[in-house]
Homo-oligomer: A and B are copies of this chain.
Amino acid sequence: MTDTAAQPLLSRLSLNQETIRQWSLPELADGCARAGLRGVGLWRAPVRAYGVTAAARLVRDAGLTVTSLCRGGFFTAADPTERRAALADNRAAVEEAAALGTGTLVLVSGGLPPGSRDLAGARERVADALAELAPYAAERGVRLALEPLHPMYAADRCVVSTLAQALDLAERFPADQVGVVVDTYHLWWDDTVGTQLARAGGADGTTDADGTTGAENAPSRIAAFQLADWITPLPEGVLLGRGQLGDGSVDLRWFRERVDAAGYRGPIEVEIFNPSLWSRNGTEVLTEVVTRFLSHVT
């Protein structure tokens, strides 16, 4: 195992493609390679439109790795037919992740079914779905990465709202099968997040007699680390109002240090959904992302 902790943080920077969604996949691969990035986070829809195998080859040929695939999930349907369809779709997502060579499939759990007020029940259906999918994914070298989303999405998008909840669910499974996504945009407001990041690190911080750290023995529950800043006012629908790094209220460096301390040594993805970035020149946006990353994260 390479000691990636010694590499500069910049080498771990990955661009989630939705940050510069005006780029086609070839533009993305080319733009990221030219900027010296080593990784990209991809989304299923553009990958499927381009062709999964072709996308895998394109990215590989550009010298990039796929750091995560977004996204599976939407597990909360109570209706059996919908539930079977969701599980089938998630198996397809696992296969796409494997074909892209990423070990990380990001899961957005889903909101309340129409007319339901049963948050606890919906959360249990997420656990049931993880139990069905985790072994299937593990056989294909893919780890499920459960993402807690900001509580403002609890009704219509994700009933898993805090890192504590995500860990409660993930810990029912082996750490190498189910991890969590730490996204600063979703978690920054929570005064318990520092404690929960330490919990996610598990045995990390200790050093064994053979000189290995706990993190090398017991993998961190952190499967992905994503960055975006929190800016206001929020737009209608609250989906596309994320801020460029440094433009908002999130202490990004504090998060990065806590995630480091939890033993996470993987990619750091910048994932910003904001039409003001999409209307600009992609290369210019990526240059700004790198500059902001250096000022606010490293």
Instruction: Report whether B117 and A156 are in contact in the complex, using a CB–CB cutoff of 8 Å.
Output: no
A92 CB within 8 Å of chain B: no
Give A150 to B238 CA distance when docked, in angstroms: 14
A235 CB within 8 Å of chain B: yes
Please pick, from B155, B236, B237, the residue contacting A248 in the complex, using a CB distance under 8 A.
B155
> Which B residue sits closest to A123, measured CB to CB?
B191
The residue in A112, A155, A162 that gathers the most chain B C-beta atoms within 10 A of its C-beta is A155
CB distance from A168 to the nearest CB of B (A): 9
> Which B residue sits closest to A160, measured CB to CB?
B191
Give A123 to B248 CA distance when docked, in angstroms: 18
A6 CB within 8 Å of chain B: no
The interface bits of chain A over 117-144 (1 if a CB of B lies within 8 angstroms of the residue's CB, else 0) are 1111001000000000000000000000
Instruction: Report whether A155 and B190 are in contact in the complex, using a CB–CB cutoff of 8 Å.
Output: no
Which residues in B have their C-beta under 8 angstroms from that of A119?
Answer: 188-189, 191, 249, 251
The interface bits of chain A over 251-268 (1 if a CB of B lies within 8 angstroms of the residue's CB, else 0) are 100100000000000000
Which residues in B have their C-beta under 8 angstroms from that of A155?
Answer: 189, 230-232, 248-249
Give A112 to B233 CA distance when docked, in angstroms: 14
Chain A interface secondary structure, helix, strand, loop or mixed?
A: loop
A152 CB within 8 Å of chain B: yes
Instruction: Report whether B251 and A117 are in contact in the complex, using a CB–CB cutoff of 8 Å.
Output: yes
A151 CB within 8 Å of chain B: yes
A165 CB within 8 Å of chain B: yes
Q: Knowing A151-B152, A155-B249, say if A120 contacts B191 (CB, 8 Å).
A: yes
Chain A: interface size category? 20 to 34
Give A70 to B289 CA distance when docked, in angstroms: 42
A250 CB within 8 Å of chain B: yes
CB distance from A213 to the nearest CB of B (A): 28
Please pick, from B150, B156, B236, the residue contacting A152 in the complex, using a CB distance under 8 A.
B150
Within 8 A of B (CB), among A161-199: 161-162, 165, 188-191
The interface bits of chain A over 98-125 (1 if a CB of B lies within 8 angstroms of the residue's CB, else 0) are 0000000000000010001111100100
Identify the A interface with B (CB < 8 A): 112, 116-120, 123, 150-152, 154-156, 161-162, 165, 188-191, 230-238, 248-251, 254
11 inter-chain pairs at a CB distance below 8 angstroms, sorted by A residue, are A116-B249, A117-B254, A152-B152, A155-B189, A155-B230, A155-B231, A161-B189, A162-B190, A233-B237, A233-B238, A238-B238
